[in-house]
Chain A
C-alpha cells in the first residue's frame, strides 16, 4: 500500500531564509514522487518529480527535493524563500504502474516579509 505523510501542516519562514517542507512516504513498490503547489484559488502546479535516476531533483522556482530511500523521505527545499512562494504544497506518491496517486495532507507555507 502507498501513503504519504507531510509532517508539518503549517510552516512559516522569513523572506530570504531557507525553506524545508518534509514528506515521508510508504510504498510497496519503487515509488514515483511528486511535489505540487496550490496557490489560493488556483489549480495545482507541478514543482518537480522523481521517477528514477538521480535522487536529487531540481524543479521550478528554485525548489529541489532529494529522494532518500533509506529514510523513505522526499523533502522539499529552497535556499531562499520569496513572498510569492506562500502557498499550499502537496507531496504525492504513486506506485510503479501510475494507476493511482496518493496525496499528503498538505503543508501551508507562510512567508513573512
Chain B
C-alpha cells in the first residue's frame, strides 16, 4: 500500500510557540490533502481540506489563522499550529487522497503543549 510519513511523530512545545508538522506521500501524488485531529478515545475530526496550489478549506469552528496549512506540492503538505495553547494538545493526522479515491493516513503527530 501507499506510504505516508509525518514528522515529527511526537512534539512537546511551550504555550505561545508555533509547531510545524510535515506530511509526505512517499510513493504517490495527492492533489487533495485532509488534516484531522483526534482527541483521546474519540473519532477523527476533519479540520481542513487542501488542494495543491490552492488555499485550504477549513471546517466550521477551525481557525484558519491558527492552523496554517500549506500544500506546497503533490507530495508535501504542512500544518503549522501557531501560538499553541494546552487545548491544542491532540493527535494530528494527515490524509492524502490517492487517485483511486482511497484515503491513506499518516501515522500521526502527538502534540503536547505545556
Contact = CB atoms under 8 A, between A and B. Distances in A.
Interface of A: 32, 34, 36, 42-46, 49, 51, 90, 92, 94, 98-106
Given A90-B44, A101-B46, A32 B101 contact: yes
A98 B101 contact: yes
A101 B34 contact: yes
6 nearest A-B residue pairs (beta carbon): A44-B105, A43-B107, A103-B43, A103-B44, A105-B43, A43-B105
B43 A44 contact: no
10 contacts: A42-B107, A44-B93, A46-B102, A49-B102, A51-B101, A100-B46, A101-B103, A105-B42, A105-B43, A106-B43
Nearest to A101: B103
A104 B43 contact: yes
Contacts, number: 48
Interface of B: 1, 4, 32, 34, 36, 42-46, 49, 93, 95, 97, 101-108
Given A104-B43, A106-B43, A98 B106 contact: no
A43 B106 contact: yes
B44 A43 contact: no
Nearest to A90: B43
Nearest to A4: B43
B102 A100 contact: no
Nearest to B102: A46
Contact of B108 (A43, A45, A92, A99): A43
Nearest to A106: B43
Contacts of A94: 101
